[in-house]
Each structure stands twice: as structure tokens, then as C-alpha cells.
Amino acid sequence: MTTKENDAGEHLELLNENLARVEQLSHRLIEIMTHRKSLRKDLNSPDNELFMNAASAYWQEMVNNPGKVLENQLELWSKSVKHFVDAQHLLVQGQNAAPQDETPSDPRFSNPLWQTHPYFNFLKQQYLFNAQAIESAVDDLDGLEPKEKQRIDYFSRQIIDMMAPTNFLGTNPDVLEKAVETDGQSLIDGLENLISDLEANDGELIVRLADEEAFEIGRNIATAPGKVVFRNRMFELLQFTPTTKMVHAVPLLIFPPWINKYYILDLKESNSFIRWLVDQGYSVFVVSWINPDRSYAAVGMDEYIDEGFLSAITEVKAITGQKQINTVGYCIAGTTLNLTLSLMKQRGDTSVKSATFLTTLTDFSDQGEFTPFLQDDFIDGIDDEIAEEGLLRSFIMQRTFSFLRSNDLVYGPAIKSYMMGQTPPAFDLLYWNGDGSGLPGKMAHQYLRQLCQKNEFVDGGIKLCGETLVLADVDVPICAVTCETDHIARWKDCYKGFQKAQSPSKTFIVSESGHIAGIVNPPSKKKYGHYINSDTGLEADEWMHGATFEDGSWWPRWDKWLSSQSGEEIVAREFGSAKHPVLCDAPGTYVKVKATR
């Protein structure tokens, strides 16, 4: 027997051993799923009525316009038969080659075998033909309400993405090549990754996007030096160490969203918004929200405004001795900062000198990509969930956000982790993305029903803290920074609400990129530019048409705006005050609390 034959025999034996281990791990997987606590069905899919309405519209179209429907079907049949005949013709000729391929490029099919191998190419082309047929059928549906049409489009897209041949072991050449190359070890490692993720989430499948062992809060992430100078049940107040001898007299208070942790603004030194602000000579304070457990079930928007925003503003004023402060609100915190400003206006409180809103929605008349999840069937399910659990658990929100970009945030990572056995990357942004917070039950209900669904802040006012709050009350100088490709808070929707504020001084900026990358965009990277236009009375498209594009980050431009609101320079401040002793070092204790499962 030759050496080559010996090597082949050893590889085959090792492959068979690993495949036997796969079977053993499969039994362990079945055991986990047997004891899995199922998530509520109404949080997994829409009400059946949606599909019934779609089916009814389809059959109605068949009756009223059969030619149109049959035309779409015949186009698919024609493509499929021609595709099959072309493949067969090459085989008969003895050519081990793929037929002509005019399908569009798709990053999922980057392996050359998708183009050259007749089997994989046939699968790819047929999948894309089928996907196009489904999309055309949905596009041609008449007789549906716009929101129903949008939801059908979303859920049909989910089915299309789920059924891609890349998602199955036997039809993914990358996975098969890796299995052969590693003698099946990649399948063992993949199953171990899958089982680990399931065990960590009580049987609920949440794809781990980052290597959690690679980061430690306060050691190599969230490391900007500072102190905790105040704490209540809602937040810790962080005061960051000055790096300049002189600072602006008016302090800056940042409210991050409480859906995630504040350190999105302090991932590492090179892209830390907090460090950059300190270096520009600002006295920077940041709210670090509590990660609520079930005891916070009765905490609502009232408490976030009163014990959160108003309390933080009061404490920063007391610590610095200033009558006014500048504020920043990011995402949902920007929405709530608007609510707070309305309340302060009605109470005659002028503590806020200026407000900056990052990717902030206030007018929810167009719900954008979240439309599928903001209808009664899903919100009813969330109401039932929070009635039972006391809070809207973080992983439910994380899953919803992920499926808005399912190929990038669900299927792609799942293939690499579970089918190819790769360790998730040590990526700080993805680590932060997985380190979420839950929402107190009452707060989640108010936000979803009164703001998102009923749009009360714009339409008639929302009753909070004993007052009726309206967006038109906001009249302090404001600056809004939005992001061109943001799918969470689309810039045009942010602009629509921004225009309704009655502030005499308004600045609006559109940064390139999305919800995170467009904001966390340090000047040193020289990566994304931004658009500016001083005429904020224009319609959104007109505003963009007349806007000037500037290379580089929006941070320096905003710094010029903010410095004009920040008073004279004074000697840099010490931490806290006599009545605000240092409680511990930044990043504090609240940021390290993990979300309740």
C-alpha cells in the first residue's frame, strides 16, 4: 500500500470518527431543545389574518386579471425549464461546466464553485429565479392596505432569505470544503458553538456575533478615565477626567439610549466620542442607565423623565455650579430629551441651554422598516410578554433588530459559527451590540403604544408627569445629527420631527453611513463625510438636493456649534463636590449588569 493510500485511509477514518461525534452531539442538542422554554407564538410571526388577506388578494387578482398572474408564473416556468435544458445539454456533451449564468451578483455566492460547478450553479440560479418570482407576486398584489403590503413584503423576504442554499450543509460548498479539509472537525466545532449559544439562552437561538471572552468592560472597552459622582435607582452619573487645563464653563451631559449600554461612545481610545469631547475642553458627564430586572416592571416614561433626565440635569448643575447645561440625547434618549424639554418649558425651567439629538425620532407617522412589528398583533404579544415577565427582555429586541438585516446578522454569522466551526470575531462593536438592556414593562408599553403607534407627541400631546407634552414646546437651540443609510431612525423621518420643534436656532446634519457608524465617526479615521444645509424649512428631498457635502466627520463642525453655546473658559473642574463624593471609578457598576433572561 502506498503512502498516499495510507494518508487517504487515515483521513477517512478520522472523518468517520468525527461524523460519529456529530451524532453524539446531536443527541445533546435534542435534549436542550426538549427542555426549551418556548417564546410566545405571537412574537414569532404575524397574525394568520395577514396571510389570509394576502391569499385573498392573490386569488382575487387571479379572477380579475388571470393573464397578469399567469404571465408571472409562465416566466418562472420558462426560466426553470430553459435552465434545466441548458444544464442537461452540457452534461450530454460531456462538459462538466455550468450553463450560462446571467443572475445578479450576490455576496452569499462568492465561492467560485457557485459559478463554475454545474450542481452548485444550478441550485443558485434556480433559487434566484424562485426568489424573483415570489418578489414579483408580492409586488403585484392589489387590494391590500399599504401597511399590510409592507408586512407581506417583509415576511416573504424572510422566507426567501431563510431558504437560500447557503443556509444548508448539503448545498453550501464553503461548508462542505471546510468539512473535508478538517476531516469533519469543523462540524464538531460548529455543533459545539450551536449548543453553547442555546445553553446560554435557555434554548432560544441567538447567534453570538462577537467573541465575548475577548472583551472586559473597564479593561479594554469603556476605558475613558472618570468617576461615578451620583447614583440613584435609574442611573449612575459618570464625570470624565479632564485632559486640558481649561474647560468650557457650561458642562455637557450625554443621555445614551437605555436599550444598550453607554459605551458605544467609548469603545476604544481611537474612536471614543467621550475622549474626543474631553480633549476639546468640555466638562463631560454621561448617564449610565440601570439594566432593569423584573422589579422595575412599573417604571414608565414618567420615571425616566423625572428620576432620570431631570435628576441628572439637577445633579450636574449642582456639581458644576452652573445655572444651565448643554445636553445630548442619542436615539430613544433623544426622543425622551424632547419630551423632557417640553415638560421643562411648561414648568418654566430653563436649565437646558442647548440640545443635540443623535439619530432621534419624534414624529412616528411613518414607521419605516419597523412597520411589520408595530401592528396590533405583535404589540399585543409584547403586552402579554411584559404582563408575564415584567419587562421586555433584551434578546427579543435584539432578535427583531437582527432580522431587519437577516443575511448579515443572522444567517451569515450562523453559517460561519454553526456550520464552519469558526469562533466569532473579536469585534468591539458587535460585542456591544450583544450586551443589551431590557425595558421595564410599563415603559415599553407607553413607548410602543403612545409614541410609536399613536404618535401622541405630535398628534395632540402625550400625558406624562402630570402634563400634556407636545413637540412644539421645544424652543431651545437644537442640533440634530442623522445618518444617510440609517434603517432604524431614517434621516427623513428624523427631519420631519425636527422641523416641528419651535426652536429659533436649528442646525441639521446628515452623516454618511448608518445608525452607529455614522455617529461613531472620529475625525482621525477620515472615513465618512456629512451633508449640511442651513435652510431647514425645505422638504427633505429639497434639503438634500441643496445641501453641501463636506469630507470628514461631523464632530468638528458640531464642536464649533457646541462651543458657541458653552460660555467662557475656566480652570478644569475637580470630580464631584462636597455633596457629591466619588462613589467609584468609571465605568461604574450599572454598566456591568447583564440583561435579565
The cell numbers describing 204, all together, are 432560544
Q: Is the peptide bond before 587 cis (omega within 30 degrees of 0)?
A: yes
Helices (H), 435-573: 441-446, 491-500, 540-545, 555-563
Q: With contact defined as beta carbons under 8 Å apart, do 513 and 485 qualify?
A: yes
Please count the other Cβ atoms lying within 10 Å of the Cβ belonging to residue 273.
Answer: 23
Q: Which letter, b or e, does each residue of 490-522 get, where b requires 16 or more Cβ atoms within 10 Å of its Cβ?
A: bbbbbbbbbbebebeebbbbbbbbbbbbbbbbb
What lies within 8 Å, CB to CB, of 5 at 6+ separation is none
CA atoms within 13 A on the CB side of 24: 9
CA distances to 408, 441, 461 from 212, rounded to whole Å, are 19, 28, 43
Rounded CA separation 581/575 (Å): 8
CA atoms within 13 A on the CB side of 362: 32
The cell numbers describing 534, all together, are 442651513
User: Any catalytic annotation for residue 465?
Assistant: no
Nearest alpha-carbon partner for 236 in 595, 584, 596: 584
Nearest alpha-carbon partner for 193 in 433, 432, 425, 416: 416
| DSSP bridge pairs for 274 | none
What lies within 8 Å, CB to CB, of 223 at 6+ separation is 266, 268, 269, 587
Helix (H, G, I), strand (E, B) or coil at 543: helix
* φ and ψ at residue 323, rounded to 5 degrees: -85, -25
What lies within 8 Å, CB to CB, of 444 at 6+ separation is 382, 386, 391, 392
Q: Which of 331, 452, 483, 494 is catalytic?
A: 331
Location of C-alpha cell 426622543: 335
Q: What is the secondary structure of 16-43 as a DSSP string?
A: HHHHHHHHHHHHHHHHHHHT--PPPGGG
* φ and ψ at residue 545, rounded to 5 degrees: -60, -35
Nearest alpha-carbon partner for 289 in 587, 515, 585, 597: 587
Nearest alpha-carbon partner for 414 in 399, 427, 424, 404: 424
Nearest alpha-carbon partner for 46 in 369, 374, 367: 374
**Amino acid (1-letter code) at residue 84:** F
CA atoms within 13 A on the CB side of 120: 21
CA atoms within 13 A on the CB side of 217: 17
Rounded CA separation 579/53 (Å): 63
The cell numbers describing 320, all together, are 458644576
CA atoms within 13 A on the CB side of 214: 14
Residues with a known catalytic role: 331
